[in-house]
């Protein structure tokens, strides 16, 4: 479980680092990126997890979102895990498709062969990596928040809904809100979990809310020019589920924004401030 630091650089008075460790859950080496704010010199700081989308690694959010300056001002540690296991022996989609296999773990614990041996991102993020962070980094694990983009937005919503006592706040950028009802989700959940749709509900934010899961509130930004809006993301499904259940939701439709990291960079300061207020409360 020991951490190996692969890189580190001074950043806005804090440090931006990449770590690697041997994961018992995935059976592979796993990497994750950590921004540690300057306030950590005085003691543990609150943690914001950011889960990335299809094709991404731990680098995408770290390099493209521009989150470190505001995180340094707010005293937030940013942790960006990888999106799937990688390495020799880890299976990938036979056609090398971008939406299944490497880079597309969908934050599930797979039950179908050959994926079940390594694709255990749910347990990795719910249990293994938090324990490692608590043991090795100056993180205040009593104050955690989570966010994500696209597939990572799906991951952030479902992790928080399954673990409401762990996270003080949750937000997302253009999340897949109902994998049961979109092509990306149907492909991934069929492949990782098999054809029984009853097993998919634990990985669908709308289904979790319909089954009684609740959070204090949810913040979502969705671009109106997102090419995946109507076919894959379908924010109106989450809007309806929250309205029916009485689940507080702030869904902001941002005119003209697409699915890219330019969209995330445009609103990341809002999300950090929103989380920061709840982590201080």
The residues pairing with 35 across neighbouring beta strands, listed in sequence order, are 16, 78
52 DSSP assignment: -
Spatial distance between the Cα atoms of 75 and 213, rounded to a whole number of angstroms: 30
pLDDT of residue 217: 97
**pLDDT at site 197:** 95
Q: Has residue 281 got a pLDDT over 80? A: no
Q: Which two three-digit tokens encode residue 155?
A: 């991951």
User: What's residue 225's pLDDT?
Assistant: 98
| Sheet containing 45-51, strands listed edge to edge, beginning at the edge strand earlier in sequence | 4-11, 14-22, 29-36, 77-81, 45-51, 139-148, 167-173, 219-223, 250-254
Q: What is the pLDDT of residues 118-128, one digit of tens each?
A: 999 999 999 99
Is the Cα torsion angle 190, 194, 198, 203 positive or negative in sign?
negative
pLDDT tens track for 157-170 = 999 999 999 999 99
What is the pLDDT of the chain when averaged over all its residues? 97
- Checking if the pLDDT of 82 tops 60, the result is yes
Phi, psi of 260 (to 5 degrees): -85, 175
How much of the chain, in percent, has pLDDT values that exceed 70? Answer: 100
d(CA 77, CA 32): 13
In sequence order, which residues have a C-beta less than 8 Å from that of residue 63 and are 6 or more positions away? none
CA distance 209 to 200: 14
| CA gap 254, 266 in Å, rounded | 10
Q: Map out the domains of the chain with their CATH numbers.
A: 4-279 (3.40.50.1820)
| List of residues 6+ apart from 21 with CB closer than 8 A | 1, 2, 3, 4, 29, 30, 132
User: Tens digit of pLDDT for each residue in 45-75?
Assistant: 999 999 999 999 999 999 999 999 999 999 9
Q: How confident is the model at residue 1 (pLDDT cuts 50, 70, 90)?
A: low
Task: Find all residues with CB under 8 Å of 274, minimum gap 6, and list them.
Answer: 169, 171, 219
Segment 174-232, tens digit of pLDDT: 999 999 999 999 999 999 999 999 999 999 999 999 999 999 999 999 999 999 999 99
Tell me: pLDDT of 142 over 70.
yes
Give the pLDDT score at 181. Answer: 98
List, by residue number, the catalytic residues: 150, 226, 259
Q: Stretch 79-84: mean pLDDT, rounded? A: 98
């Amino acid at each position: 479980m020991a951490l190996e630091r692969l890189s580190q650089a001074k950043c806005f008075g804090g440090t931006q680092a990449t770590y690697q460790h041997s994961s018992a859950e995935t059976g592979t080496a796993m990497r994750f990126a950590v921004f540690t704010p300057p306030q950590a010199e005085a003691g543990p700081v609150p943690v914001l997890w950011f889960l990335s989308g299809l094709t991404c690694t731990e680098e995408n959010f770290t390099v493209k979102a521009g989150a470190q300056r505001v995180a340094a001002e707010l005293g937030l540690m940013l942790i960006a895990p990888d999106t799937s296991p990688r390495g020799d022996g880890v299976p990938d989609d036979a056609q090398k498709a971008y939406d299944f296999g490497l880079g597309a773990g969908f934050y599930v614990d797979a039950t179908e062969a050959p994926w079940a041996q390594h694709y255990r991102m749910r347990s990795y993020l719910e249990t293994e990596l938090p324990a490692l962070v608590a043991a090795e980094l100056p993180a205040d694990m009593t104050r955690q928040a989570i966010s994500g983009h696209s597939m990572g937005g799906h991951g952030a919503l479902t992790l928080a809904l399954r673990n409401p006592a762990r996270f003080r706040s949750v937000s997302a950028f253009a999340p897949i809100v109902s994998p049961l009802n979109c092509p990306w989700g149907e492909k991934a959940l069929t492949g990782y979990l098999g054809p029984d749709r009853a097993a998919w509900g634990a990985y669908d934010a709308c289904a979790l809310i319909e089954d009684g899961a609740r959070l204090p509130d949810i913040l979502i930004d969705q671009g109106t020019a997102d090419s995946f809006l109507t076919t894959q993301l379908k924010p109106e499904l989450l809007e309806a589920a929250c309205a029916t259940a009485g689940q507080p939701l702030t869904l902001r439709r941002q005119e003209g924004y697409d699915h890219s990291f330019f969209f995330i960079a445009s609103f990341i300061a809002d999300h950090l401030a929103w989380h920061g207020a709840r982590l201080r409360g």
